[in-house]
A and B are shown apart, each in its own frame.
Chain A
Amino acid sequence: MPKNLENYLEEISHFLSGREERHEILSEIRSHIMEKAEQEGGPVTEASLEKVISAYGQPRRVAEKYLENRPVIAPVFQRHLFRYASCLFAIHFAFTVFAVAFKESFISFPFLFIPRMGIFDAVMYLPMAFLADFGVVALILYFITRSGKEIKLPWPKFALDLNEMKAFDKKNLAAKAATLFGGGVMLALTAVAIWLFVKFHTIFFVSFNFEKFRPLLLPEPGRRISLIVIAMLAAQTIAIFVSVFARSRRMVCWVDAATDALGLVLIGMLLRQPAAGLFAVHIAPASMPMIWFALTIGLLVVALMIAIDLVAKLVRLGRKSLKK
């Protein structure tokens, strides 16, 4: 058999792996291609076969036509995917906060396993947890789809739904102007923060009286935390301007995802700062654990919002790639 035909059938065969009638399918395609090349191009040569092969179609497309076009998740359940995944993630997140706050592990085999972890680990763990929850929900919906039974799933009226998230409308001038205004505010904030940092090596003050400069934090942690916050402000500012001026929505999505990822890393760095030896002002020792706990929870909530946004952006990018 000519080499190009052999290679072509080999590729189709690869995409039909596991199907028992594969050999018969390939025999029929082989017979068709050989006959067409002979009938329409005279003696069969590699060149005449190449023409027939290319008209027959890409191996993957050919193989797909033999596969039953059954969706992995039935269309009626597809809208449940993000809603259920986000509900499950909310539970997961709550347990993660408890695991961090109370330094405990939560195990309910095989449904839940949240190891005892530090704050930085938790920030890194949450996006993974969302993907795991997404996978579990997708698997359950897949089995429900496969069962073919008339199952009505409840529809919670809260939680994240990707289909309801609208992309930025470039034609909407009001929205564009508002975003631009927001970008301007962020740019001003970033500029002020950089100016303060250059002048005082910190951006945290007890009062705004620069004549009697009193920093809130001690010099070294103050410098570190200031730099982290400036980086977060700058990243957000860049993301906003990209969203206004970029021509491709895909690029906006990538920049947003990169900003979110950077934001998570920076929050993780903030959470790693030791509580002791942080403040330059006197704080009652009894109040310190409360203040620290409130700051931690606040940062974790911000991390959660960023994590959800990051996952949604990545799924949206993945979905676009799949569509292509």
Chain B
Amino acid sequence: MDNELGSFETEMKRGFLQLLVLVLLEKEAYGYAMVRAFRDLRYEIEENTLYPLLRRLEKRALIQGKWDVSEERPRKFYAITSEGKKLRDELVGIWNHQDNILKQVLKEKKHAQEP
């Protein structure tokens, strides 16, 4: 059962993480800072999934990456592009719509179960 839950959770997280990154990158951030931000929100991710995701979003011009070499340790900062913002808004709309549907179905189910 735990395995099954794990695979469903991974599947759900995949889409959610993309959306979360697009929302979070309204403000420029680098990978490790994002991991910390997620952790502060009590949202644990596998770190090694974040960077490939950032790369895919960058390839599709939804975010833009830029190396900062001014510090001792080089860091790659990412920020959302105008195309990314457009997509993010649409995705947030879809998310809210789905969230409303789920809430409604759960509410109806609860009412049906009440004596």
* A-to-B contact residues, CB < 8 Å: 21, 24-25, 27-29, 31-32, 34-36, 39, 55-57, 61-62, 65-66
Does B9 sit at the interface, judged by CB under 8 A? Answer: no
Minimum distance in angstroms from B46 CB to a CB of chain A: 7
A57 to B52, CA, bound (A): 14
Q: Which of A28, A65, A66 has a CB less than 8 Å from the CB of B31?
A: A28
* B-to-A contact residues, CB < 8 Å: 30-32, 35, 46-49, 51-52, 55, 73-76
CB pair A62 B76 closer than 8 Å: no
A57 to B49, CA, bound (A): 10
| Contact A61 to B48, CB < 8 A, known contacts A21-B55, A28-B76, A31-B76 | yes
Q: Which 4 A-B pairs rank lowest in CB-CB distance, beginning with the nearest? A: A65-B52, A57-B48, A35-B32, A62-B48
A57 to B31, CA, bound (A): 16
A32 to B76, CA, bound (A): 10
In the complex, chain B residues whose CB is within 8 Å of the CB of A66: 51-52, 55
- Please give 5 more A-B residue pairs, beta carbons under 8 A apart, in addition to A32-B47, A66-B51: A31-B30, A34-B73, A39-B32, A66-B52, A66-B55
CB pair B48 A31 closer than 8 Å: no
Minimum distance in angstroms from A34 CB to a CB of chain B: 6
Q: Which of A25, A27, A39, A55 has a CB less than 8 Å from the CB of B55?
A: A25
CB pair B55 A56 closer than 8 Å: no
14 contacts between A and B (CB under 8 A): A21-B55, A25-B51, A31-B32, A31-B74, A31-B75, A32-B35, A32-B47, A32-B51, A35-B32, A36-B47, A56-B48, A65-B48, A65-B52, A66-B52
Q: Which of B31, B46, B49, B55 has a CB less than 8 Å from the CB of A32?
A: B31
Number of A-B contacts (CB under 8 A): 44
Minimum distance in angstroms from B57 CB to a CB of chain A: 13
In the complex, chain A residues whose CB is within 8 Å of the CB of B48: 56-57, 61-62, 65
In the complex, chain A residues whose CB is within 8 Å of the CB of B51: 25, 28-29, 32, 66
Residue of A nearest to B33 (CB): A35
Minimum distance in angstroms from A9 CB to a CB of chain B: 13
In the complex, chain A residues whose CB is within 8 Å of the CB of B49: 65
| Contact A55 to B52, CB < 8 A, known contacts A28-B31, A32-B31, A36-B32 | no
In the complex, chain B residues whose CB is within 8 Å of the CB of A27: 74, 76
Minimum distance in angstroms from B44 CB to a CB of chain A: 11
Minimum distance in angstroms from B49 CB to a CB of chain A: 6
Minimum distance in angstroms from A212 CB to a CB of chain B: 70
Minimum distance in angstroms from B63 CB to a CB of chain A: 14
With most chain A CB atoms within 10 A of its CB, the pick from B49, B52, B73 is B52
A65 to B17, CA, bound (A): 15
In the complex, chain B residues whose CB is within 8 Å of the CB of A32: 31-32, 35, 47, 51
A31 to B68, CA, bound (A): 11
Minimum distance in angstroms from B60 CB to a CB of chain A: 12
Q: Which of B30, B47, B74 has a CB less than 8 Å from the CB of A55?
A: B47
In the complex, chain B residues whose CB is within 8 Å of the CB of A35: 32, 73, 75
CB pair A31 B73 closer than 8 Å: yes
Minimum distance in angstroms from B10 CB to a CB of chain A: 12
A32 to B55, CA, bound (A): 15
With most chain B CB atoms within 10 A of its CB, the pick from A25, A28, A61, A66 is A28
In the complex, chain A residues whose CB is within 8 Å of the CB of B55: 21, 25, 66
Minimum distance in angstroms from B53 CB to a CB of chain A: 8
In the complex, chain A residues whose CB is within 8 Å of the CB of B32: 31-32, 35-36, 39
In the complex, chain A residues whose CB is within 8 Å of the CB of B76: 24, 27-28, 31
A39 to B33, CA, bound (A): 11
